A and B are shown apart, each in its own frame.
Chain A
């Protein structure tokens, strides 16, 4: 617990020093996405319109099957939408070929997943360096700084098997930031963590956002909504509500 608090404080301190202009705005118009065909067709997104301002922290809520992960995937360029217009961080995604989407992901967005998906044969530092090396973005010498920002300076040369779940998720976050994305997309980032660890990860995400980077977080945990500038609720592939928080709470005040 002390470890996670320290991490959040370190990250906050790091963020406080480097405030940048807001980035990572999103604009969706009439976006649809259907899986399968015929009787088994499933309309995951059904005419979604959404505007996210640059530098906003957005939480997308909704029950299972409501389309929130599909929304994250089409914004992240992992999956193409069937119809509609999508613009992310100033890049128009509509009708782009897969190769362009790969470049877009490399240059504009970063991902954090529920199960971390670290390379088990690489140390924390190497996981970040590998991402830099493979994407050709970032400087390997920046890896220790990123790990320091997530409070893992003393765990840089540890392998995933030697790290706790929370520590692994923090490495995962540092890895996502390694390419300096405009928008960070997080899919259930606290889903595999206990409350205390989850809170520390949320603090790091919030700090990342305070540095001007857009953050879009998909979760089924309604308590997390308190952190967000914008809370989007989805149901049956549609945006049911969009609520703006006048005063987002600090992550360390959130509990579930």
Chain B
């Protein structure tokens, strides 16, 4: 029987190869993306472990007191206190608000260490290179975080300036470092995507950091928990930190850089599980159609064997073997290629993100699961036809009743009355019910392909819509200028800069909101009530104005702090008092979850008024004009930082351009998936209808007419599946996006007509392409032989 199986596979090699290839793609995607997903997670963990990444980061209170409260607490491994402050910096021609972070413990803290990748360390001498004549005790200078070093082209020995409140202080870059806190360089959860030229992190000794930050420098308490400490321990330590005066405690899960990387991993996880499921389902359907055809063609032989006393189990095993062999072969190839791809994907990814550690592991369990998936697909596809074969009544099958014509159903009878339709159209419509399993298989292939395409493309179009909303409707300013509080007439001088159309003073301050025992670190902005710099979107897409009393907040705040509109929030700003303020309303913003109030309200809460200026440029300002404005504004006395808000948009657009390549690949894969299923069903279709097609050929019907007829039948089934495929695709895309919905991102599904049309055209093109082998089969039909055979 094995010989027969082998020959069966060889006789239908293209179709079985299509099944095996689809299984291969599914298993490859599973193995490569799942192993890479785990590898990335392990890579992050290794870096976190080596650099003693904090489990809890507390701000506020007296750090020494806060630290003392938890040093001896059960489950706490290490505690460190440090200074951290956001200060204006000048790097080359750029002015920006950067961050100075203190490194206590002579540059080697117990928690949140940094790794020197270029140059030297600070005072401990551990990082001083051989031959460097610097005194190990010389703690001056800073270490610059790797992303900023790359952005600004800084190397050890370069200088930059930090504004310490009284003036610009020159500092020398001693080295370039990697930090677990800034594997993704995010200033805060509100600004995970930012113009790289508007943010830089430098590390300094504790003394230098305190000196630069001045008396307003923020104190932080960092805690590393012992291995194996669970959520309970974290909660207990958090409570102790708060009791000791900490205003905000951020768990590692909420730390901005880590959160972004986790969101990224979620994408990988979806890829690792979702896409393989689509391909493996398609392979199972193709295997089912193919083996069903095989069983129908061999029914008489099966009956003969059964009549001769062959056990039914043997028949089942024989046909299951076909599926298992095709699935198994595809799975073996998939695991082999997946294993190779795992290493490449992991390394490319960690290289791109500058993750210092790359863990490449190949998990036998993943490979085994991939193999099992492949086998299961083959077995699932073969099971129903194999069982049907074993249930054949020998006498009936041997009489050849397989050739009996099916009775017309209601659909066929109804179409017979549609006399105005051309017969070929009626024929195409009737074919839908002639072999329901074939039609269903074609439709399922179409649906799976559309789900694959829309889930992938939907992510990108939704990101594009997010960018459009954020920078078109919400953030309407083109630039933000941070000013020296003592600067005079700056507003007037800014207005005088060419291309600057509007200037508004805005108050911007970091804030921690607490309610019901939970806290959330965010930003508080105060605008004029008739501001033209910011749009406040409501959930239904409308807009609202700032309230005279109370604040507006991003919608995610209600979940984070379990509050509702009308509730009272406690807002703590650095240097300000704790204030109670009413949550007057919610806004729907794609990026971040911030607080907004009128300038008057914010002044009452913080004592600050108008510490930044927001600018709108003339409508047509292009990149060159913008650079000219940046240059002119940063040259003004009293300007300490300049952020080009629309530069981020440009960056995101460029970034999304790369994503479109990914979308293109998914379109091709979706087309290939549809092609596989439709190809198999089409060739089976032609094989089953050999006699009638040969009769048409014998009667002189041109091949193109037969091809047109088959195309019409095929496209009809495909088109019928399109609405369902589009709906399921959109639903899948929506569910995928929901996984990314956090306080950092609010992704609304946006699938425009061009995308839906392109996806539909892609599956229709795949459907038409799958005609080619079928038409070739018709051309090669041995008309003389086939017309003499009984149909069936």
Inter-chain contacts of B788 with A (CB < 8 A)? 69, 113-115, 187
State A224–B706 Cα separation when bound (angstroms). Answer: 35
Q: Which of A20-28, A99-107, A199-207, A233-241 touches B?
A: A99-107
Q: Tell me, rounded to whole Å, the shortest Cβ–Cβ distance linking B2 to chain A.
A: 27
State A133–B706 Cα separation when bound (angstroms). Answer: 11
Please pick, from B431, B706, B787, B790, the residue contacting A111 in the complex, using a CB distance under 8 A.
B787
Q: Which of B304-312, B525-533, B694-702, B714-722 touches A?
A: B694-702
State A84–B696 Cα separation when bound (angstroms). Answer: 27
The 10 closest A-B CB pairs, nearest first, are A106-B700, A105-B700, A121-B430, A161-B405, A117-B695, A159-B408, A130-B423, A134-B701, A129-B423, A73-B784
Please pick, from B424, B699, B784, the residue contacting A179 in the complex, using a CB distance under 8 A.
B699
Please pick, from B407, B423, B692, the residue contacting A133 in the complex, using a CB distance under 8 A.
B423
Q: Given A113-B787, A121-B431, A134-B701 in contact, is the A157-B416 Cβ separation under 8 Å?
A: yes
In the complex, the answer to whether A117 meets B787 with C-beta atoms within 8 Å is yes
Q: Given A105-B698, A113-B788, A161-B405 in contact, is the A134-B705 Cβ separation under 8 Å?
A: yes
Known: A121-B412, A121-B434, A130-B424. 7 other contacts (CB 8 A): A105-B698, A106-B699, A111-B698, A117-B695, A126-B416, A134-B705, A160-B405
Please pick, from B405, B408, B701, the residue contacting A135 in the complex, using a CB distance under 8 A.
B701
Residue of A nearest to B700 (CB): A106
State A105–B701 Cα separation when bound (angstroms). Answer: 8
Asked if B783 is at the interface of the complex by the 8 Å CB criterion, the answer is yes
Inter-chain contacts of A196 with B (CB < 8 A)? none
Residue of A nearest to B705 (CB): A134
Q: Tell me, rounded to whole Å, the shortest Cβ–Cβ distance linking A62 to chain B.
A: 15
State A157–B412 Cα separation when bound (angstroms). Answer: 11
Kindly identify, within residues 766 to 792 of chain B, every residue whose CB is under 8 Å from any CB belonging to chain A: 783-784, 787-791
Inter-chain contacts of A76 with B (CB < 8 A)? 698
Asked if A16 is at the interface of the complex by the 8 Å CB criterion, the answer is no
Kindly identify, within residues 115 to 130 of chain A, every residue whose CB is under 8 Å from any CB belonging to chain B: 115, 117-123, 126, 129-130
Inter-chain contacts of B701 with A (CB < 8 A)? 102, 106, 131, 134-135
Residue of A nearest to B430 (CB): A121
Please pick, from A70, A109, A131, A162, the residue contacting B408 in the complex, using a CB distance under 8 A.
A162
Please pick, from B407, B426, B787, the residue contacting A187 in the complex, using a CB distance under 8 A.
B787
In the complex, the answer to whether B784 meets A79 with C-beta atoms within 8 Å is yes
Inter-chain contacts of A42 with B (CB < 8 A)? none
In the complex, the answer to whether B784 meets A78 with C-beta atoms within 8 Å is yes
Inter-chain contacts of B405 with A (CB < 8 A)? 120, 159-161
State A102–B404 Cα separation when bound (angstroms). Answer: 30
Asked if A110 is at the interface of the complex by the 8 Å CB criterion, the answer is yes
Asked if B180 is at the interface of the complex by the 8 Å CB criterion, the answer is no
* Interface mask (B113-154 → A, CB under 8 Å = 1, otherwise 0): 000000000000000000000000000000000000000000
Please pick, from B407, B692, B706, B791, the residue contacting A161 in the complex, using a CB distance under 8 A.
B407
In the complex, the answer to whether A113 meets B695 with C-beta atoms within 8 Å is yes
State A107–B702 Cα separation when bound (angstroms). Answer: 12
In the complex, the answer to whether A179 meets B700 with C-beta atoms within 8 Å is yes
State A61–B407 Cα separation when bound (angstroms). Answer: 36
Inter-chain contacts of A129 with B (CB < 8 A)? 423
In the complex, the answer to whether A122 meets B423 with C-beta atoms within 8 Å is yes
Residue of A nearest to B694 (CB): A117
Kindly identify, within residues 161 to 203 of chain A, every residue whose CB is under 8 Å from any CB belonging to chain B: 161-162, 175-176, 179, 187
Please pick, from A109, A126, A162, A179, the residue contacting B423 in the complex, using a CB distance under 8 A.
A126
Asked if B709 is at the interface of the complex by the 8 Å CB criterion, the answer is yes
Residue of B nearest to A121 (CB): B430
State A122–B698 Cα separation when bound (angstroms). Answer: 19
Kindly identify, within residues 359 to 390 of chain B, every residue whose CB is under 8 Å from any CB belonging to chain A: none
Q: Tell me, rounded to whole Å, the shortest Cβ–Cβ distance linking B400 to chain A.
A: 11
Kindly identify, within residues 393 to 426 of chain B, every residue whose CB is under 8 Å from any CB belonging to chain A: 403-408, 412, 416, 422-424, 426
Asked if B691 is at the interface of the complex by the 8 Å CB criterion, the answer is yes
8 pairs across A/B with beta carbons < 8 Å? A69-B788, A78-B698, A113-B787, A119-B427, A121-B427, A121-B430, A126-B427, A160-B405
State A114–B698 Cα separation when bound (angstroms). Answer: 14
Inter-chain contacts of B702 with A (CB < 8 A)? 102, 106
Residue of B nearest to A137 (CB): B700
Count of A-B contacts judged by CB separation below 8 Å: 112
In the complex, the answer to whether B416 meets A120 with C-beta atoms within 8 Å is no
Kindly identify, within residues 224 to 255 of chain A, every residue whose CB is under 8 Å from any CB belonging to chain B: none
Q: Tell me, rounded to whole Å, the shortest Cβ–Cβ distance linking B629 to chain A.
A: 70
Per the CB 8 Å criterion, the residue count for chain A at the interface is 42
Inter-chain contacts of A117 with B (CB < 8 A)? 691-692, 694-695, 787, 791
In the complex, the answer to whether B431 meets A133 with C-beta atoms within 8 Å is no
Inter-chain contacts of B692 with A (CB < 8 A)? 117-120
Inter-chain contacts of A130 with B (CB < 8 A)? 423-424, 427
Q: Tell me, rounded to whole Å, the shortest Cβ–Cβ distance linking A161 to chain B.
A: 4
User: Which of A111, A119, A131 has the most C-beta atoms of chain B within 10 angstroms of its own C-beta?
Assistant: A119
Q: Given A78-B783, A106-B701, A134-B701 in contact, is the A111-B407 Cβ separation under 8 Å?
A: no
State A159–B412 Cα separation when bound (angstroms). Answer: 9
Inter-chain contacts of A107 with B (CB < 8 A)? 700
* Interface mask (A134-150 → B, CB under 8 Å = 1, otherwise 0): 11000010000000000
Q: Tell me, rounded to whole Å, the shortest Cβ–Cβ distance linking B604 to chain A.
A: 80
Q: Tell me, rounded to whole Å, the shortest Cβ–Cβ distance linking B777 to chain A.
A: 16
State A113–B790 Cα separation when bound (angstroms). Answer: 10
In the complex, the answer to whether B700 meets A102 with C-beta atoms within 8 Å is yes
State A70–B406 Cα separation when bound (angstroms). Answer: 32
Inter-chain contacts of B787 with A (CB < 8 A)? 78, 111, 113, 117, 187
* Interface mask (B424-466 → A, CB under 8 Å = 1, otherwise 0): 1011001100100000000000000000000000000000000
Inter-chain contacts of A133 with B (CB < 8 A)? 422-424
In the complex, the answer to whether B430 meets A134 with C-beta atoms within 8 Å is no
Residue of A nearest to B789 (CB): A115
State A134–B784 Cα separation when bound (angstroms). Answer: 20
Q: Tell me, rounded to whole Å, the shortest Cβ–Cβ distance linking B627 to chain A.
A: 66
Inter-chain contacts of B434 with A (CB < 8 A)? 120-121
Inter-chain contacts of A104 with B (CB < 8 A)? 700
State A115–B698 Cα separation when bound (angstroms). Answer: 14
State A151–B698 Cα separation when bound (angstroms). Answer: 25
Q: Tell me, rounded to whole Å, the shortest Cβ–Cβ distance linking B677 to chain A.
A: 22
Inter-chain contacts of A179 with B (CB < 8 A)? 699-700
State A111–B698 Cα separation when bound (angstroms). Answer: 7
Kindly identify, within residues 215 to 237 of chain B, every residue whose CB is under 8 Å from any CB belonging to chain A: none
User: Which of B426, B783, B784, B790 has the most C-beta atoms of chain A within 10 angstroms of its own C-beta?
Assistant: B784
Q: Tell me, rounded to whole Å, the shortest Cβ–Cβ distance linking A153 to chain B.
A: 16
In the complex, the answer to whether A69 meets B700 with C-beta atoms within 8 Å is no
Q: Tell me, rounded to whole Å, the shortest Cβ–Cβ distance linking B683 to chain A.
A: 19
Inter-chain contacts of B694 with A (CB < 8 A)? 117
State A161–B705 Cα separation when bound (angstroms). Answer: 26
Residue of A nearest to B697 (CB): A102
State A157–B424 Cα separation when bound (angstroms). Answer: 16
Q: Tell me, rounded to whole Å, the shortest Cβ–Cβ distance linking A203 to chain B.
A: 23
In the complex, the answer to whether B698 meets A134 with C-beta atoms within 8 Å is no
Q: Given A76-B698, A121-B434 in contact, is the A115-B424 Cβ separation under 8 Å?
A: no
User: Which of B427, B700, B703 has the most C-beta atoms of chain A within 10 angstroms of its own C-beta?
Assistant: B700
State A211–B206 Cα separation when bound (angstroms). Answer: 113
Inter-chain contacts of A162 with B (CB < 8 A)? 407-408
Inter-chain contacts of A69 with B (CB < 8 A)? 784, 788
Q: Tell me, rounded to whole Å, the shortest Cβ–Cβ distance linking B589 to chain A.
A: 57
State A157–B413 Cα separation when bound (angstroms). Answer: 9
Residue of B nearest to A127 (CB): B423
* Interface mask (B684-696 → A, CB under 8 Å = 1, otherwise 0): 0000000110111
In the complex, the answer to whether A122 meets B784 with C-beta atoms within 8 Å is no
Inter-chain contacts of A187 with B (CB < 8 A)? 787-788
Inter-chain contacts of B790 with A (CB < 8 A)? 115
In the complex, the answer to whether A120 meets B406 with C-beta atoms within 8 Å is yes
Q: Tell me, rounded to whole Å, the shortest Cβ–Cβ distance linking B341 to chain A.
A: 46
* Interface mask (B569-598 → A, CB under 8 Å = 1, otherwise 0): 000000000000000000000000000000
Residue of A nearest to B431 (CB): A121
Residue of B nearest to A70 (CB): B784
Residue of B nearest to A120 (CB): B405
